[in-house]
A and B are shown apart, each in its own frame.
Chain A
Amino acid sequence: MPNQTIPNYVISADRLTKHYGNFAAVDGISFDVPAGESFGLLGPNGAGKSTTMRMIGGVSQRTSGKLTIMGLDPEQYGPEVRAHLGVVPQQDNLDEELRVRDNLLVYGRYFGLPMSYLKPKADELLEFAQLTDKAKAKVDSLSGGMKRRLTIARSLINEPKILLLDEPTTGLDPQARHILWDRLFRLKESGVTLILTTHYMDEAEQLCDRLVVVDKGQIMAEGSPASLIREHSTREVLELRFGSERNTTVAADLAGIGDRLEPLPDRVLIYTHDGESALEKVTARGLHPITSLVRRSSLEDVFLRLTGRSLVD
C-alpha cells in the first residue's frame, strides 16, 4: 500500500513468539494486516499456523512479542477482541446435540445478541450457507462440507469484520471446497478481512491477496501469490517421471537443462521459463521419461524452493 499514509492495520504482530516448554511453535513472526485484506499463512502441518491463529483469536497466551487486534491486546482485552472476530477452527466444534439453526442462535447469545436480531439473522446465514432446508436437522446428520459451512455461518452470527479461518477446507471433497471458496469470496467482496491458514496452494492462490510462507514457526517469505512465484520460482515447471528407481539417478544426466533441477523420490522437477523446449532437450539427450508434464509454477514450488520440503506430506 504505497499511498497509504496512516496505516490502518486490523491485526499487527511484532516478533510474536509462543513456546511450549523448549519447543518454539511460533518463533518471532511479524506481520500487519490492513482492513479488507485476505491474508494467508501457508505452511505444512506443525508450522505454527494454528498456534498463531489461536493467539490472534485471543484464546492462547503468547510467550513474547507484541500483538494487537483492532488496536487491542487480546491478553488484556480478551472479550473485546473476541467480540470483533468470527472464528472457524480447524476442527468443527458444533454442538451436535442441538439442531442446525439452534447452533447459530445459541452462539449468537454468547455475544449478548437479542433473539429479535438472531432469529432473522440465523435464517439469513442458513441461506448463505445453503443449509436452509437443514435448519431443523440434527448436526450429526450433516456431511463434512455442510458442517463446515455451518461452522462458517456460526462464525458470522455477530457480523464480524475479521474472520479467522484455520484450514477451512481440509478434509473436504473438491466440490465442497469450491462451494466454500465461493462463500468466502463473497465475504471478501463484502469487505470482511479474512485471515486463513492452509496447506493447500490452490486455496491460497484462490483466496489470498497476500500471504506469508511459514515453516518451523518462522516466516520464510511474504508477498502476493503471483509475486512469490515470480520471485522464488520460474514461469514453468517440467515434471518428469522415470519410475521410482531412476528419478534420482537420472538427475545427473539432466544437468544443464532449465534453470534449476529438483529431484524428488517420485519425480524430477525442472524449473524453466519454457517447459516445452526443456522437454525437447531431455529427449534429445536420449532420455525417455514414463510421463512428462509442463505446468505453470505454483506456490508448492515456492515452498519447495524455500524449505526443501513439500507442503503436504
Chain B
Amino acid sequence: MTSQHTGTPDQPAPGQKAAAQPATAQTTTTAPPVPAAHSPKISAERARKFGSWYYAEHALKVMNGYRWTLLAYSVGNPVMYLFAMGVGLATLVDSNSAQSAFGGVSYLAFIAPALLSSATIMAAATEFTYPVMDGFKWRRVYYGPHASPLGVHQIVNGYIIAIAIRLFLMSVIYFGIVALFGASPSAWGSLAILVAVVCGLSFGLPLMAYSASITEDKGQFALVMRFIVTPLFLFSGTFFPLETLPVFLRWIGWISPLWHGTELGRLLTYGYAEPLWLTAIHVLYLVGLALLGWVLARRVYERRLGK
C-alpha cells in the first residue's frame, strides 16, 4: 500500500522522495523474521502434559503485578500481630498466668503457630473468593484459557498451584519473622510452614468450589468473612487453648481447619504434647478437606464452563 502511494507519478521535492523511498523499503524488509509456531498436535500434547503449570504461570504473572503490595502485606501483617499480641499482650498474659497455662512456653510461642495458620487462611479467603467470581463473571478471565488447549481441570489446578506458591512464600516470611522473635524453639519449627500452606488450602479449596457455584454476587463473600472466617479466627484455640472454652463451643475448633493447623504447628514449633491419634486426625482432616474441596471445585468448574 505504502509503495503504491510513494510510487505515484507526482513529483514531490526530490530530497523528500529520496528519503522516503528507502525508509519504506527498509521497514518492509526488516520485519522481524518470526519462526513458525509448532503444530497443533504438539500444542495439544504440551497442554495435556503441562497445562496446569501454564495456567499457574499466568496467575503468578498477574500476582507479580502486585508483588510490592503482597510483600508489604506478608511482612507487615506478622510484624503487626506479633508485636500487638506476642509482645504487648504477652507481657500481661505471661506475668499473670501460671507457667503451665500455655504448655510451659511463652504466650508468644503459643500464639505464633496460630497466627501463621490464620494468615494463610485469611489470604486463602481472599484468593478463592473474588478472583473466582472475576474468572466466571466480572471479567470472565477463565473463558480465555478455556478456549485454548487447556482443560478445565488444569485451570483449577493451575490456580491452586499459584496460590499454594503464594501461601508458601508468605509463610516462609512469616516464619522467618516468628523465628526472629524467638518464638519457634524447636528444630522442627520450619515444617510449620508446610502445615500453614495445607491449612490455607484446606479452608480455601472448599471455598473455591463454593465461590464457583455463585452466579450472582449478593454479598456472600462478606458473609463468609464475617460469619465463618472471623469466628474461626477467634474460637480455634488461637489465642487460648480450646479446652478453656465451654464444651458447647469447642466444636467450632474441632471442625475448624485453623485449630487442626494450629495444633500441628505447635507440635512442630515447640513440641506441644498431644496423643499420636490426635496428630493423625489433624493431618487427615486438613488433607481430606483440601482434597474434598479440590474435587468439588473441579466438578463445579467443569459444569459451569462447559455449559
A interface with B by C-beta (< 8 Å): 57, 59-61, 70, 77-80, 82-85, 87, 89, 91, 93-98, 102, 106-107, 109-113, 116-117, 120-121, 123-124, 127, 154, 157-160
Contact = CB atoms under 8 A, between A and B. Distances in A.
B34 interface: yes
A94 B142 CA distance: 10
Given A60-B307, A93-B141, A106-B58, 4 more contacts: A79-B43, A79-B47, A111-B46, A113-B38
Given A80-B41, A124-B31, A159 B36 contact: yes
Given A98-B61, A111-B37, A117-B34, A79 B144 contact: no
- Of B31, B41, B43, chain A has the most CB atoms within 10 Å of the CB of B43
A84 B151 contact: no
B143 A82 contact: no
A23 to B, nearest CB: 13
Contacts of A84: 40
Interface stretch (B48-56, B94-102, B219-227): B48-56
A110 B34 contact: no
B139 A96 contact: yes
8 contacts: A59-B306, A80-B41, A84-B40, A85-B147, A91-B143, A117-B37, A121-B37, A159-B36
Contact of B147 (A87, A109, A159): A87
Contacts, number: 120
A110 B32 contact: no
B140 A110 contact: no
B206 to A, nearest CB: 25
Contacts of B9: none
A79 B31 contact: no
A117 B38 CA distance: 9
Nearest to B49: A112
A82 B147 contact: yes
Given A59-B147, A82-B147, A95-B58, A124 B65 contact: no
B127 interface: no
B48 A159 contact: no
Interface residues on B, range: 35 or more
A93 B140 contact: yes
A110 to B, nearest CB: 4
B145 interface: yes
A80 B307 contact: no
A124 B54 contact: no
B76 to A, nearest CB: 22
A61 B306 CA distance: 7
A7 B139 CA distance: 41
Contacts of A111: 37, 43, 46-47, 148-149
A109 B34 contact: no
- Of A77, A84, A116, chain B has the most CB atoms within 10 Å of the CB of A84
- Of A93, A96, A158, chain B has the most CB atoms within 10 Å of the CB of A93
Nearest to B145: A110
A106 B57 contact: yes
A291 to B, nearest CB: 39
A158 B58 contact: no
B23 interface: no
A96 B150 CA distance: 20
B58 A80 contact: no
B17 interface: no
A84 B149 CA distance: 9
A60 B150 contact: no
A79 B306 CA distance: 14
A107 B148 contact: yes
A98 B62 contact: yes
Closest 9 CB pairs of A and B: A112-B46, A83-B40, A110-B148, A83-B43, A111-B43, A79-B149, A87-B147, A79-B44, A93-B140
A83 B149 contact: yes
Contact of A110 (B45, B54, B61, B62): B54
Contacts of A110: 47, 51, 54-55, 58, 145, 148-150
B18 interface: no
